[in-house]
């Protein structure tokens, strides 16, 4: 039995905590506020509608203890700051699994703290916060994890993720796959103020196609070799599979929160500049999303 610390108690963090506990492991939420560091009841509604309640232990981020692994489910722009106090007491051998959207923060953290054991992960599950301490699992997706560096050999603690459906793989191609999907669906659902499924409608196909062609050029320059129209296939598959969902970026916009645009389309634009590539459709989309968030 492994004990996982979870940094970031949003929908995905609560989902993983529930799944781990149901699989016979322990989960502890790390809070940045001491007044929130107390055991709390959490309600979990499964995909099939079943409802269960669990008690989750909450600890402050300054309290030194040694979990078997750390799952980071914060927003991409929050991860580095949220991890700072935790890295002061966490053993370097403890696997840290970064489950951010986008790319960039993962590589920066692994490079800045090379003696820690860094992993990245991706999952396409849908989860929705229904109350302050409750979530609904709206759709089961695919789950992958893999090492970002070779600081330490695979820990048995990673097997806890296998127990809840995470497959250990070469993670970089999977991160690019998720980046491709997020870079199209997330910003378009903000600009169009629509659910994911609307992106697959033929009226939007020219823009979706252009976005996919541009990001494929960047991926190729970064060593990712995809068949023709692979990115488009990924985007349409996810859009149709999550048709009734509201993307995380659209939820952030509607709730007045900061977006993860910099780690998604912003990362693509950074890579494009490095390779001397032009991404006019993505550039225009980034500007349109920024205008939406600044209203």
Q: How far is CA 263 from the centre of its chain?
A: 11
φ and ψ of 217, to 5 deg: -60, -45
Structure tokens at 211: 């976005």
Catalytic, 178? Answer yes
User: DSSP states of 2-70 as a string?
Assistant: -EEEEE--SHHHHHHHHHHHHTT-EEEEEESSGGG-S-EEEEEE-TTS-EEEEEEEEEETTS----SEE
Helix (H) or strand (E) holding 131: strand 126-131
User: From CA 265, how far away is CA 69, in angstroms rounded?
Assistant: 30
Single out the catalytic residue among 91, 154, 178, 274. Answer: 178
- DSSP designation for 105: H
Q: Assess contact for 147 and 154: CB atoms under 8 A.
A: yes
| 291/295 Cα distance (integer angstroms) | 6
> In angstroms, rounded to a whole number, what is the distance separating the alpha carbons of residues 233 and 240?
11
C-alpha to C-alpha distances, 278 to 209, 273, 283, 287, nearest whole angstrom: 16, 7, 9, 15
Just list the catalytic residues: 178
């Amino acid at each position: 039995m492994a004990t996982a610390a979870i940094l970031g108690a949003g929908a995905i963090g609560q989902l993983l905590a529930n799944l781990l506990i149901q699989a016979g492991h322990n989960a502890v939420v790390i809070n940045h506020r001491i007044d929130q560091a107390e055991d709390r009841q959490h309600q979990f509604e499964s995909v099939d509608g079943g409802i269960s309640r669990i008690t989750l232990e909450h600890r402050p981020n300054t309290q030194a203890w040694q979990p078997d692994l750390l799952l980071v489910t914060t927003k991409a722009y929050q991860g580095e700051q949220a991890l700072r106090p935790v890295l002061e007491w966490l053993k370097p051998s403890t696997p840290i699994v970064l489950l951010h959207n986008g790319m960039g923060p993962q590589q920066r953290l692994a490079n800045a703290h090379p003696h820690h054991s860094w992993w990245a992960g991706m999952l396409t599950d849908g989860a929705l916060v229904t109350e302050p301490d409750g979530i609904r699992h709206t759709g089961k997706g695919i789950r992958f994890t893999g090492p970002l560096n070779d600081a330490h050999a695979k820990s048995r603690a990673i097997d806890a993720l296998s127990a809840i459906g995470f497959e250990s793989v070469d993670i970089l191609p999977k991160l690019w796959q998720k980046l491709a999907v997020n870079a199209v669906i997330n910003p378009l659902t903000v600009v169009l103020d629509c659910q994911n499924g609307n992106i697959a409608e033929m009226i939007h196909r020219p823009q979706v196609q252009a976005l996919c062609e541009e990001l494929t050029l960047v991926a190729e320059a970064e060593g990712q070799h995809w068949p023709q129209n692979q990115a488009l296939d990924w985007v349409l598959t996810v859009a149709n599979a999550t048709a009734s969902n509201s993307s995380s970026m659209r939820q952030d916009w509607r709730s007045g929160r900061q977006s993860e645009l910099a780690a998604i389309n912003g990362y693509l634009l950074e890579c494009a500049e490095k390779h001397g590539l032009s991404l006019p459709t993505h550039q225009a989309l980034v500007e349109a999303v920024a205008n939406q968030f600044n209203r």
